[in-house]
Each structure stands twice: as C-alpha cells, then as structure tokens.
Amino acid sequence: MTADGADVQDGDGQAEADSRTEPKQSPEIEVPAARERARAIPEAAVARLAVYLRALSGLADQNVSTVSSDELAVAAGVNSAKLRKDLSYIGSYGTRGVGYEVSVLIGQIERTLGLTRKHSVAVVGIGNLGHALANYGGFPSRGFPVSALFDLDPDLIGVPVGGIPVSHIDDIVKVCTEREVTIGVIATPAQGAQEVCDRLVAGGVTCILNFAPVVLQVPENVEVRKVDLAVEMQILSFHVARRQQEAAAEADQSAVDGADIGPPGSGGQVPGDVESADRMVERL
C-alpha cells in the first residue's frame, strides 16, 4: 500500500516546518475555519477522498441515497476505520446508527477537493499518450476541460485533436494565460519536459501532472505530481521477485541447518541488461 503509485515529487517541503507557530496563539477566539481545516487534511487522506468520491458517484447513479462506512469502504477498497477517519477530516456529515447521505457526502468532498470550480487543462506533447489524453471524450466532459494542446511538430500545429487545435510549444505562455489554464499535463519526452514545465509556470499554471521521466524543478508555489510507468512496472517487478524468493525460501525446509547460502537454483538469474527500462516512457 505504498499509496505512492504516482508519487508526488514535491520539492521537499522542508523549509518552513511549522507555519502556524503556536497551537493557540491567543486563547480568545476559536479562529479555526474551514480554511484551517484544508491545511489539516493528511495528504494520504486527500488521495483517498477522490476515490471515495468515485465510489459515491457510482452509488448515486444507482439511486442509492444512504451508505454506511462499511459499505462505502468496501466499494472504495479500504477499511471502514480509515474511511471514517478520512471523512472526519472534512467534517461530521454522517448520522450515527444510519450512515451517510450520498449526495451530502459528494457535495462535501467536491467542496473539499476544490471541484466546485472548473480547472482548465493543457496537454503538452501530442504523441501517443498526449493523443490519448486529448482524444479522450470523458476527459473534457466535466470538471477538467482540456482547453489547450501543444506540440512542436509542425505537421501537428493547427490540427484539431479531440476538437482542439494543437498550438506550438512556443505559444505556451501566451495561450495558457489567455485561457486561464490551471493544470498542465506534460506528456513529452524527457528532454523537453523541464523547458515545457518552465513555460507552463510562466503561463500561470500552478499544477502539473508529469508523465515524463524527469524530476522537474519548479518554484515552491507549483504543485507537481508524477506518473511514471517505468517506476510502476519496476515496483511490480520487485513484488514478483519477492514472491519468487519467498517460494524459494519455502523450499528451505531441506536445510534448517543451512549449508551455505548460495542461490538455490531458483529464481536467481544473472544480471543482464535492462539498463533502460527507465527510458521506457520517454517516447510516450
């Protein structure tokens, strides 16, 4: 449960450890507003809220009006204690002995996640993946309209993809500013990614979803999330390997008095190439 699949590569939020210095500065007024609360929601919980939201939408589609934490937990693939705690971060919207009203919960989670506002999206790099993102009908539908596409291939400029004409990378700043893009998706090869990122930032984009296999350098007011297929694959690979080792170890009933520990002819292949499983995503 790394919950880190697509890890955030945040710039090491080290600096100002505790912005809100004292717990209760003046013991007078109970200042904590909803504002304060946003600060307080653990990262891990935020990620799950999005998952709950999907589960809830599914329930709403089936005209379910009420769920218990147990039911919702199952639908979302977590345990109910965690779910309740997560929900408690956004407030008390359940009814004891009954459960949660689906519509209320949807509303509250949307509010918390800031989904009550549209976020214009720009996709940069209209290669295979960029195409997929841009073409993708459900994408612009609601919540995250794709409002700009960029590439540097002259053959692509002006060509509409998913209904939106591709602009040139050189126009990122201008177009993003004009169209008030808030989320930039980088689907370029690794080489161009930092450059693209800089331009997006210059164009006022404060959130970036990065598919390129590079660690982006951004100012601290910009949020980057990274999705890395190579990393995902390699993590899976690790688990295969571990399982094989365990299986091999199981066969160690033979040697409780282990006679040297050489590779027991099981899964121990010779190191090979593989060198650039990493480069995998580069051309996506």
Q: Alpha-carbon dihedral of residues 254, 256, 259, 262, nearest 10 degrees?
A: 70
From the list DNA, its own copies, none, partner contacted by residue 161 (C-beta under 5 to 8 A by kind): none
For the record, the structure tokens of 125 come out as: 């790099």
- Asked if 183 touches its own copies (CB under 8 A), the answer is yes
Among 57, 65, 88, 95, binds its own copies (CB under 8 A): 57
- Contact region for its own copies (CB under 8 A) — 92-100, 120-128, 151-159, 192-200? 120-128
Interaction between residue 16 and DNA (CB under 7 A): no
Tell me the closest approach of the beta carbon of residue 269 to DNA, in angstroms: 25
Q: Does 23 bind DNA (CB under 7 A)?
A: no
Please report, in range form, the residues annotated as the binding site. 125-130
DSSP output for 129-188: HHHHHHH-THHHHTTS-EEEEEE--TTTBT-EETTEEEEEGGGHHHHHHHTT--EEEE-S
b/e 244-283 (16+ beta carbons within 10 angstroms → b)? eeeeeeeeeeeeeeeeeeeeeeeeeeeeeeeeeeeeebbe
Minimum distance between the CB of residue 18 and DNA, rounded to whole angstroms? 8
Query: Interface residues for DNA in 91-120 (CB under 7 A)?
Result: 92-100
Q: State yes or no: residue 88 binds its own copies (CB under 8 A).
A: no
d(CA 49, CA 55): 10
Nearest to 90 by CA among 128, 50, 146, 130: 50
What is the rounded CA–CA span in Å between residue 95 and residue 89?
16
Which of DNA, its own copies, none does residue 70 bind (CB under 5 to 8 Å by kind)?
Answer: DNA
For residue 260, the partner it binds in DNA, its own copies, none, with Cβ less than 5 to 8 A by kind, is none
57 binds, among its own copies, DNA, none (CB under 5 to 8 A by kind): its own copies
For residue 88, the partner it binds in DNA, its own copies, none, with Cβ less than 5 to 8 A by kind, is: DNA
Nearest in space to 9 (alpha carbons), one of 220, 245, 283: 220
Report DSSP state, residue 271.
Answer: P
Using an 8 Å Cβ cutoff, are 140 and 158 in contact? no
* Binding pattern for the stretch 6-45 against its own copies, x by CB under 8 A and - elsewhere: xxxxxxxxx--------------x-x-xxx--xx---xx-
Q: Is 164 in the site for its own copies (CB under 8 A)?
A: no
Binding residues for DNA, rule: CB under 7 A, are 1-3, 12, 14, 17, 42-45, 67-70, 78-82, 84-85, 87-88, 92-100
